[in-house]
Amino acid sequence: MNTVKVEVQTLAKVERSNPKLLAQLKGKIKYTIGLSMDIELVEKNSIPRSQGGKINIVLNNR
């Protein structure tokens, strides 16, 4: 089965292993688009910014 991993940048004051926040994000994504996703909280500015407002990085690890 294929899985999707979403990296979410957090503010500096947010603990990256916050189980309540992870569950809330998973629930909102599942409710909004109907798909379950693995969520990873990462440090602010650790993901390169996109140019022109489009997705910059998509990794296919199949």
- Residue 60, pLDDT > 80, answer no
Residue 18 domain-assigned? Answer: yes
52 within some domain: no
Tell me the pLDDT tens digit for each residue of 5-58: 888 888 777 777 888 989 999 999 999 988 888 998 888 888 777 666 666 666
State which residues form the domain around 17: 5-42
User: How many domains, in total, are found in the chain?
Assistant: 1
Nearest-Å Rg of the Cα atoms of the chain is 13
Question: pTM of the prediction?
Answer: 0.65
The tokens of 41 are what? 């909280």
11: in domain: yes
Q: Where are the beta strands (DSSP E) in the chain?
A: 5-9, 38-42
